[in-house]
Structure 1
Amino acid sequence: MYQTICGAQTRYIDGYRSSILTFLCCLFAALLALPANAAERSDTAMTLGSAIKLALSENPDLQVYRLRETGLQGLVQNASLAPPIDLSAEAENIGGTDDYSGFDSAEFTLALSSVIELGDKREARVAAVEAQRQVIAGERQTRALDLMGEVTRRYVEVVATQARLDLAVNARSLAQEVVQSVEHRARAGAAPEAEPLRARANLAQAELVVSEGQNRLRAARLSLSVLWGDMEPGFVRVAGNLDNLGNVGDFDALYQRAIQNPAIEFFASEERLREAEFQLATSQSNTDIGWSVGIRQYQETNDTAFVAGLSIPLVGAKRNTGALQSARAARDEVSMRRESALLNLRASLFDAYQQRRLGIETANSLRSDVIPLLQRALQQTQAAYENGRYSYQEWAAAQQELLSAEYALIAAASAALQSGATIEQLTSEPLLPSLEPGSSNIEQESD
């Protein structure tokens, strides 16, 4: 009897330990090494690299930027065009009285006209649109980085949910074996009749936990798959575990990397855009010279003559003062918003850094100190129960303490990896030691 219970307990402990595995967050280097269609829409385990590739290629938000780029290419073409040439026709001295009745004294003029742009207006227009293209590219990089971070966080949640479900399944198997053992002791008169009732109640609760875990896993899988537009997940499980959490790292070093984040670099692109718009507004202060050339035909004498003309707007520069003031204010505003963004970035990074450190410390303590002690305590409690010195309630309490610690380990490891994904998003660089430093999927994707 004792060996039966010990065997069940050993399977219980081994099953729990196998549920707390290493989550390899291959956010950058592994992504480039994986085939795009590996495990993407099959029943095999989905990988993080495949999930990120699917999101980057099929997420609707990113498709919008391709359309914007196409639209800006059209604007570049228009901005580089020279002023149009107009063809005009004019008739004078027709339909009057006496000598000017009919068309006998008419004068007909056919002319071409346009303007001469001064102040490098065409170059300023092209520069403004090109600067806008750089801003759109920066926005796309930032959005792609945000998307990769969100994919990683939801992927971690699926891995953690899988681990919890595996833990619940193992607990249910143990509860089934415990029911058999306790009922056998009760039939032999070595345990009161209430103990089998408690054991069966514990089994029923374990069944409910498994059912809840299955529902949570389905929801977590759907939450991940919608990032690439799938309303029904095309995978059953994801590959990964929750054991190797890496080191906390140095906050100042992380912050120095974070200020190179595309979200911060975006302000440099926007500042160039505002400067280009200011230069465009400045060029508009230079008045354009209108010109026209043509030929005039006199009906009365049947003669023809060439005509030419120039037109210069008066006080044109003063009319552009408001546009200059607005463009200058928009340019100066960018630097102020960049300073505010840096402050918010530091606060967000520090919060994620603290959460990651707490998660790593908690997980390491549970794994190395708390859980081994609870395992030993459970074994000794089980032995004492078999010898009649402890009741079933004390044995069940020891089982629950170990189970709670295992769940806490999953929660702490998951929180550490979730925070790690946020740090990777803020720094746009890999964080965990299992990743190869220096690779940047954002740059590759934007190309």
Structure 2
Amino acid sequence: MPVFGLHIRILGVALAAFVVVAEVAYADPTPDFFVLLERAKAAPRISAGEAEVAAAEARALQAEVGPNPSLSLEVENFGGKGLYQGTDASETTLSIGQLLELGGKREARIAAASLEAQAVRAQQTRNTSDFAAELAVAYARAEASAELAKLTAEAVGLAEGDAKTTRALVDSGREAELRFVQASAELARVRAELVQARAAEASAFARLTAFAGSKTPFDSIAVSLLSREPRATAVAGGTAPAVAVAQAESRAASAKVTIEERRWIPDITITGGVRSFASTDETAVVAGLSIPLPLFDQNRGGSAAARSEALAASLRLERAQSEADADRRAALAGLAAASQFLSAQLEVERASAEAYRLAQVGYEAGRVPLLELASVRRSLIETRRQTINIRLARVAAEAEAARVTGRLPFGE
């Protein structure tokens, strides 16, 4: 690409980066991951789940409450003809009635509401685990973008050094002017990459800020997560959050079956009160009892539906248990592979650094051509870039391992 075209490319990317960077003019370093995770509990995603848990627990409390009594006032035998004109022959009855729940309905309702609250709490625990894993990845991506921007800045410095060396060799007559033009074009190219890397860095920190629900933008990483060692030994223990949710939902569905099977049992209403006779100015006690007859509606359909839902919940539990076991094994394998890959990559990076050092010495001595030096330098930068990406992949593997086992990434 011509040098002029590269300068145009730099200008365009710089303008795009300026828009992003301007939005974070007042920014703070990102705190340690665990500090950020604690602060992020106030984020809408977590707060909404806690509100749902509070609602389910409130419903569980409400389920313990029995039906209210009813107060009734009845006036009869007035406003008619003959003896029943006016109110002299009226009868006034004041009574109170109470519905009595029979067949264990109240106990079943309380148990079901309590189990439903447990299911909502289990889902919130799972959501919190997922959130922590996603926050770890967002944190690592922001750190990786900052490292890549720093690496690209180093590449610019190396390219500037190569260009200066080339200029000196051209001035001494040891290289043709074409070599300096090539070195200048290479320098323009890496400068364009630096502008892009800084724009990507600003974007990654903006996403991290939004994900964590922080009002103050972040622009750097205070404590590295990419270099932190994962807790591989913690993968094997504990109940997977998906299984815990499925277990709780299965128990809640079974409890609803009991509710539906008992719903047809008639409840009785007892009443008691006082009746006043206006014609004799006397009073008498009245009592009553009413009970519905389940001749037509015995809630067979409701019971069948609840049993089918319970069956579906139990099948989902079986599926969750099977998938959780596979996910756990895959997470452990992925984490081990990422750690091994990083160890191998570090060896490659050391070899690339030594190769570039030798290429620089050879170029200055006139034994290595400029194109080979530039090729070795690009290889070094690319190797370091791969190392950063592999570190990021290891964080993602640790986050996935933490998610499927219900623990915090890089925690116990």
Report the TM range for the smaller structure's normalisation.
0.7 to 0.9
Does residue 175 (structure 1) correspond to residue 159 (structure 2)? The answer is yes
With structure 2 as the length reference, what TM-score do the two structures score? 0.85
Does residue 417 (structure 1) correspond to residue 389 (structure 2)? The answer is no
Does residue 388 (structure 1) correspond to residue 366 (structure 2)? The answer is yes
1:372 matched to which residue of 2?
Answer: 350
**TM-superposition CA deviations, 1:147-196 (whole Å, max 9, x none):** 10011111111221122111111111121222111111111111110111
Aligned length: 387
CA separation in 2, counterparts of 1:44 and 1:235?
A: 6
**TM-superposition CA deviations, 1:375-406 (whole Å, max 9, x none):** 33323333332232332111111111121111
Query: 1:6-405, aligned counterparts within 5 Å?
Result: 43-56=28-41, 58-230=42-214, 233-240=217-224, 242-243=226-227, 254=235, 257=237, 260-315=239-294, 318-368=297-347, 370-405=348-383
Cα shift at 1:340:
2.1
Cα shift at 1:265:
0.9
Gap change, CA 1:156 and 1:43, over 3 Å in 2: same
Is the CA contact (8 Å cut-off) linking 2:103 and 2:262 kept in structure 1? yes
3-state SS of paired residue (1:306)? strand
Output the amino acid matched with 1:366: Q
Output the amino acid matched with 1:257: G
**TM-superposition CA deviations, 1:352-386 (whole Å, max 9, x none):** 44544443333222211x23333333233333322
CA separation in 1, counterparts of 2:80 and 2:282?
A: 21
Is the CA contact (8 Å cut-off) linking 2:33 and 2:225 kept in structure 1? no
3-state SS of paired residue (1:425)? helix
Q: Structure 1 stretch 88-97 or stretch 396-405: which is displaced more?
A: 88-97
Gap change, CA 1:231 and 1:43, over 3 Å in 2: closer
CA separation in 1, counterparts of 2:83 and 2:407?
A: 87
3-state SS of paired residue (2:220)? coil
Is the CA contact (8 Å cut-off) linking 1:285 and 1:317 kept in structure 2? no
Cα shift at 1:309:
1.0
Gap change, CA 1:246 and 1:276, over 3 Å in 2: closer
**TM-superposition CA deviations, 1:329-358 (whole Å, max 9, x none):** 222211101122234434544554454444
**TM-superposition CA deviations, 1:8-43 (whole Å, max 9, x none):** xxxxxxxxxxxxxxxxxxxxxxxxxxxxxxxxx973
Is the CA contact (8 Å cut-off) linking 1:108 and 1:297 kept in structure 2? yes
2:10 matched to which residue of 1?
Answer: none
Output the amino acid matched with 1:285: W
CA separation in 1, counterparts of 2:294 and 2:52?
A: 38
Gap change, CA 1:148 and 1:316, over 3 Å in 2: farther
CA separation in 1, counterparts of 2:59 and 2:226?
A: 50
Cα shift at 1:288:
1.1
2:9 matched to which residue of 1?
Answer: none
CA separation in 2, counterparts of 1:336 and 1:390?
A: 68
CA separation in 1, counterparts of 2:52 and 2:402?
A: 27
1:408 matched to which residue of 2?
Answer: 386
Is the CA contact (8 Å cut-off) linking 2:30 and 2:36 kept in structure 1? no
**TM-superposition CA deviations, 1:37-70 (whole Å, max 9, x none):** xxxx9734521112211212x1112212332343
Q: Please, which runs of 5 or more residues in structure 2 have no aligned partner? A: 1-25
With structure 1 as the length reference, what TM-score do the two structures score? 0.79
CA separation in 2, counterparts of 1:269 and 1:157?
A: 35
Gap change, CA 1:430 and 1:86, over 3 Å in 2: closer
CA separation in 2, counterparts of 1:242 and 1:80?
A: 51
Gap change, CA 1:153 and 1:316, over 3 Å in 2: farther
RMSD: 2.6
1:442 matched to which residue of 2?
Answer: none
Cα shift at 1:423:
0.9
Cα shift at 1:414:
1.4
